[in-house]
């Protein structure tokens, strides 16, 4: 068995870490992970054949030579190696978790910090017990600050990720009704997300706390080092908490904040809706805290254009689409509907896909969303998937079993000068409406 130090020396010679045998590249390290329906050990030989320098395995039957490194548990070894690599960097490591807005906030903070520092950030949504180690192991020499997104749908997962990434700073975007199936209740969500606060409290870390969000100030009582911020009308105030001004949110969010040198800076973002204000505010606050020049903060936020089906504003013909189909839970769905109701236009159509991972709360939460949508008086409410079959009948509601069925119907319609909100969980696949 190799020691962690021995394995780390090998890693330093082969820093490209791969866990999918189909993506093996010459000279990489292949970690043979296991899942419910696969065993990476079975693909170790194929990985070596395809050019991997070494295969890390945990079943001796698959060891065929010096290029096979046998360990007790591949996943645990990956996580320990990642933590050891992170420990070689005496730098700020910022952890981000929360029910909504994690990825957008992470990308905005990354853009801001990268404008002034050599920053290393989570790519995509690599935010779980495998993604976080892979993110850390991809951190190159010379990195000055790291931004690590942490996702969870069960208790103790954030705690594990904190013990791997060892954050020095952290923030919770918000506490909402997400992953209720795994967390059990909103109290379960609070308990799970606050594992980040507990870690920071016990390791003398700094927490950034949005005072406008429910529960966060209370949950952070045990933390000594806290930076508070909120929406306010006095961004130039030299008193804490930091205040960031919301100038406009239709269609795009415009804010103002004070740079770390006290200059008034206004920012015109490409993000829509008041629900994105907090994400932008947080990025501005962290940029100010880490002394990024105000004009660089402004430029970074203004250059950021959402992608990957997150809050995208699209114009096709005479119609306008808000495509926000990467994720959905009761909180984000409610925010999206509220914003959509404020947009000018007579012909507004909400296309709503199911919200997943709600467990016993699913029927009640889908019923609430439908009632909220009906109250706003949209011309049509189109629902997709069986979760929305909750016994509410209204002439405005059109229901489809899946996104493919919806698309067939949609292509036959002749919509003009209409506004569409497309919102649903990623697994529903509503983005196919945007495909030819």
Phi/psi for 399 (5° steps) reads -115, 140
Q: What pTM was estimated for this model as a whole?
A: 0.92
CA-closest candidate to residue 424, choices 348, 373, 360, 377: 373
Cis peptide before 241 (omega within 30 of 0): yes
Mean pLDDT of 41-63: 97
How far is Cα 405 from Cα 386, in angstroms, rounded to an integer?
13
What is the structure's pLDDT at 308?
A: 84
Measured CA distances, 241 to 92, 171, 235, 314 (Å): 21, 15, 10, 36
Residue 58: is its pLDDT beyond 90?
yes
How far is Cα 276 from Cα 335, in angstroms, rounded to an integer?
10
How far is Cα 209 from Cα 227, in angstroms, rounded to an integer?
6
How far is Cα 147 from Cα 135, in angstroms, rounded to an integer?
10
Within this chain, domains 4-72 and 312-434 share the same CATH topology = no
Q: Where are the domains of the chain?
A: 4-72, 89-303, 312-434
pLDDT tens for 371-418 read: 999 999 999 999 999 999 998 989 999 999 999 999 999 999 999 999
Cα torsion 422, 428, 430, 431: sign = positive
What is the structure's pLDDT at 166?
A: 99
CATH superfamily, domain at 312-434: Mur ligase, C-terminal domain (3.90.190.20)
What is the structure's pLDDT at 250?
A: 83
pLDDT tens for 307-341 read: 888 889 999 999 999 999 988 999 999 999 999 99
What is the structure's pLDDT at 310?
A: 86
CA-closest candidate to residue 181, choices 402, 322, 363, 29: 363
Q: Which CATH class is domain 89-303?
A: alpha beta
Tokens of 160: 């594990």
What is the structure's pLDDT at 122?
A: 97
pLDDT tens for 60-101 read: 999 999 999 999 999 999 999 999 999 999 999 999 999 999
State the SS3 of the chain.
Answer: CCCHHHHHHHHHHCCCEECCHHHCCCCCEEECCECCCCEHHHHHHHHHHCCCCEEEECCHHHCCCCCEEECCCHHHHHHHHHHHHHCCCCCCEEEEECCCCHHHHHHHHHHHHHCCCCEEECCCCCCCCCHHHHHHHCCCCCCCEEEEECCCCCCCHHHHHHHHHCCCEEEECCCCCCCHHHHCCHHHHHHHHCHHHHHHHHCCCEEEEECCCCCHHHHCCCCCEEEEEEECCCCCCCCCCEEEEEEECCCEEEEEEECCCCCEEEEEEEEECHHHHHHHHHHHHHHHHCCCCHHHHHHHHHHCCCCCCCCEEEEECCEEEEEECCCCCHHHHHHHHHHHHHCCCCCEEEEEECCCCCHHHHHHHHHHHHHHHHHCCCCEEEEECHHHCCCCCCCCEEEECCHHHHHHHHHHCCCCCCEEEEECCHHHCHHHHHCC
Cα torsion 216, 221, 222, 225: sign = positive
Which residues have CB under 8 Å from 141's CB, separation 6+? Answer: none
Residue 234: is its pLDDT beyond 90?
no
Q: Report the share of the chain in percent with pLDDT over 70.
A: 100
Which residues have CB under 8 Å from 297's CB, separation 6+? Answer: 112, 115, 257, 259, 265, 267, 283, 284, 287, 288
What is the structure's pLDDT at 30?
A: 98
Phi/psi for 220 (5° steps) reads -95, 10
Q: Report the share of the chain in percent with pLDDT over 90.
A: 88
What is the structure's pLDDT at 311?
A: 87
CB 363 within 8 A of CB 333: no
The CATH code belonging to domain 4-72 is: 3.40.1390.10
What is the structure's pLDDT at 307?
A: 85
pLDDT tens for 167-220 read: 999 999 999 877 788 888 989 989 999 999 999 999 999 999 999 999 999 999
What is the structure's pLDDT at 436?
A: 82
How sure is the predictor about 237, in pLDDT bands with cuts at 50, 70 and 90? confident
What is the structure's pLDDT at 225?
A: 97
Surface-to-core class of residue 162, CB atoms within 10 Å of its CB (0-12 exposed, 13-18 middle, 19+ buried)? buried
Average pLDDT of the chain is: 95
What is the structure's pLDDT at 418?
A: 97
pLDDT tens for 93-134 read: 999 999 999 999 999 999 999 999 999 999 988 999 999 999
């Amino acid at each position: 068995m190799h020691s962690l130090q021995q394995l780390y020396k090998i890693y330093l010679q082969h820093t490209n870490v791969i866990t999918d045998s189909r993506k093996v590249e010459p000279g990489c390290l292949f970690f043979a992970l296991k899942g419910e329906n696969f065993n990476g050990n079975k693909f170790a030989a194929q990985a070596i054949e395809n050019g991997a320098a070494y295969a890390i395995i945990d079943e001796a039957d698959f060891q065929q030579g010096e290029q096979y490194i046998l360990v007790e548990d591949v996943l645990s070894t990956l996580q320990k190696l990642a933590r050891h690599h992170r420990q070689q960097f005496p730098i700020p490591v910022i952890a981000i978790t929360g029910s909504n807005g994690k990825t957008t906030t992470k990308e905005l903070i990354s853009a801001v910090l990268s404008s002034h520092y050599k920053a290393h950030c989570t790519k995509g949504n690599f935010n779980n017990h495998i993604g976080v180690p892979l993110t850390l192991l991809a951190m190159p020499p010379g990195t000055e600050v790291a931004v690590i997104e942490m996702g969870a749908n069960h208790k103790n997962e954030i705690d594990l990720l904190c013990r791997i990434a060892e954050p020095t700073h952290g923030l919770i975007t918000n506490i909402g009704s997400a992953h209720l199936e795994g967390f059990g209740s909103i109290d379960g969500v609070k308990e799970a997300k606050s594992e980040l606060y507990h870690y920071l409290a016990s390791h003398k870390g700094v927490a950034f706390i949005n005072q406008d969000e429910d529960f966060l100030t209370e949950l952070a009582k045990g933390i000594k080092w806290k930076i508070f911020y909120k929406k306010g009308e006095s961004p130039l105030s030299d008193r804490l908490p930091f205040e960031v001004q919301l100038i406009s949110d239709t269609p795009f969010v415009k804010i103002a904040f004070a740079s770390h040198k006290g200059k008034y800076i206004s920012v015109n973002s490409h993000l829509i809706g008041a629900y994105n204000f907090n994400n932008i505010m947080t990025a501005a606050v962290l940029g100010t805290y880490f002394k990024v020049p105000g004009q660089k903060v402004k430029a970074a936020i203004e250059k950021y254009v959402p992608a990957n089906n997150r809050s995208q504003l699209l114009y096709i013909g005479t119609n306008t689409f808000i495509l926000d189909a990467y994720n959905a839970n009761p909180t984000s769905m409610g925010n999206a509907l509220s914003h959509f109701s404020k947009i000018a236009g007579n012909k507004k159509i909400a296309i709503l896909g199911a919200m997943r991972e709600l467990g016993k709360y699913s029927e009640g939460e889908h019923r609430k969303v439908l009632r909220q949508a009906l109250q706003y008086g949209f011309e049509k409410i189109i629902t997709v998937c069986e979760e929305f079959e909750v016994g509410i009948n209204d002439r405005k509601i059109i229901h489809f079993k899946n996104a493919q069925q919806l698309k067939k119907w949609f292509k036959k319609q002749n919509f003009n000068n209409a506004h569409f909100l497309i919102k649903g969980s990623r697994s529903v696949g509503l983005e196919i409406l945007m495909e030819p």
